[in-house]
Structure 1
Amino acid sequence: MTTLTMRWATSGDVSAIAALMAAAIDTLQAGFLTPAQIPASRAVMGLDTQLVDDGTYLVAEIDGAMAGCGGWSRRQTLFGGDHSTAQRDPALLDPATDAARIRAMYTHPAFARRSIGRHVLTACEGAARAAGFATAELMATLSGEPLYVACGYRAIERVAVGQGEAAVPMVRMRRSLTN
C-alpha cells in the first residue's frame, strides 16, 4: 500500500461510491453467495445517501483512487440503501442507550485484503465513540463477517433477507466501543 487517505464523502462522490459498491458486490460476494443471491443482494445493500448528508460516510483513497468506503450512523436504520425502503428508519438513536450503526462498508476488489476495511471501520468507530456511543452494531454480509470478527464484533443474530433461493444470508453483529 502506498498512501492511504480518508475523508468524509460529499454528494459529488455518490456515483463513484455506487460503482465501487457494484464492483464489490459482484466480485467479493462470489465466494459466499450463490449466483441467484448476488443480484438479489443489490436489493438489500447499497448506499444510503442520508449517511453522506449527515457527514458520517467515509471514502478511503490510495494515491487518489477510491479504494473503499463505509460509514456510521446515529439513526435507527441498520442496513440498506436508498432503494431498500423496508429497512429504513431515520429516527435518531440515543447514544446513552442505543448502539451506533456501522453502515455500507465496501472495498474495491482491486484493493481487497489490504486493510482498507479495517482502517475505515476504525475511523467510523472512533467517530461514533466521539459522539457518545459506547456500542456499535452492524449487519454483515458473509464476506464481511471475518473482518468484523477479527475486529471484535460478535454475532447476535443470523437472518436471511429476501425470499426463496435468492434470500441473502446476513449476520447482525455488535461490539463494545469502550474497551
Structure 2
Amino acid sequence: MPEPAMLRIRPARVNDAKALVALHYAAVHAVSPGHYTPAQLAAWSPLPDAARHAWLRGVICTPTLRVLVGEVDGQPCGFAIADLAEGRVNALYVAPAHAGCGLGRALLAACEHALQAQGHAQGTVRASLNAEAFYAAAGYRALGPALQPLADGSALPCVEMSRPLI
C-alpha cells in the first residue's frame, strides 16, 4: 500500500509565480464541459506567458493579499489568494491530478484562518460554476448569481457565496 501524500500549506514566494501560472492554466482548462465555453476558459486563463508571470509576482507582493501554496510531497499542486482587506477568497486552484486529495479544503481553511486573523467574521467568494459544490460542502451559502471581471474585459458567470467564519 502506498504511503499517503504529505500536504503542506505555505506562503507563496515570488519565484513560485511561473509554476502557479502553469497550474492555474491546467486547472482552468480541465473544467468539465458544460460550465463554460472554450472562449470563456481562454479568457479566464490564457496561455502562460511573461506578462502573466509578472502579474502574479505582483499579486504575491501585495500586502493586502495572502497568496498560499499547497504542496504535495514538496511540489506546488495548488494555490489560493485571500483578500485580507475585503474578507474574500479571490482564487483557489488545485492541479487536476491532485483534485479530491484534500488540498483544496486545506487551502480554503488556511484562507479562512487568514481572514479571521484580520477580524473578518464572514468570508465571501465568487465561486466559478464548477466550484459551487466545493464551497457549498465547506459551508458556504449561495447569495445569487454574479459576474467575475476578467483581464480581457469580459466577465465570467459565477455565484456569490458567503460563510460565517466565527
TM-score by length of 1: 0.75
Secondary structure of the corresponding residue to residue 120 of structure 2: coil
Give the aligned partner of residue 112 of structure 1.
Answer: 99
Give the aligned partner of residue 26 of structure 1.
Answer: 29
Give the aligned partner of residue 63 of structure 1.
Answer: 73
Maintained 8 Å contact 2:126/2:146: no
Residues of 1 paired with 2:57 and 2:137: CA distance? 28
- Structure 1 residue runs without a partner (length 5+): 77-99
Give the aligned partner of residue 52 of structure 1.
Answer: 60
Give the aligned partner of residue 85 of structure 1.
Answer: none
| Structure-to-structure mapping, 1:72-83, within 5 angstroms | 72-76=82-86
The share of aligned pairs that are identical, in percent, is 35
Cα RMSD over matched residues?
Answer: 2.2
Report deviation, 1:112.
Answer: 0.9
C-alpha deviations, 1:50-93, integer Å up to 9, x for none?
542226110000111111110211235xxxxxxxxxxxxxxxxx
Structure-2 change in CA distance of 1:30 and 1:68 (3 Å): farther
Report deviation, 1:144.
Answer: 1.1
Give the aligned partner of residue 87 of structure 1.
Answer: none
Residues of 2 paired with 1:42 and 1:23: CA distance? 9
Give the aligned partner of residue 12 of structure 2.
Answer: 9
More strand by share: 2
- Following TM superposition, where does structure 1 have runs of at least 4 consecutive aligned residues deviating by more than 3 angstroms? 46-51
Maintained 8 Å contact 1:59/1:66: yes
Tell me which amino acid in the other structure corresponds to 2:11. Answer: W
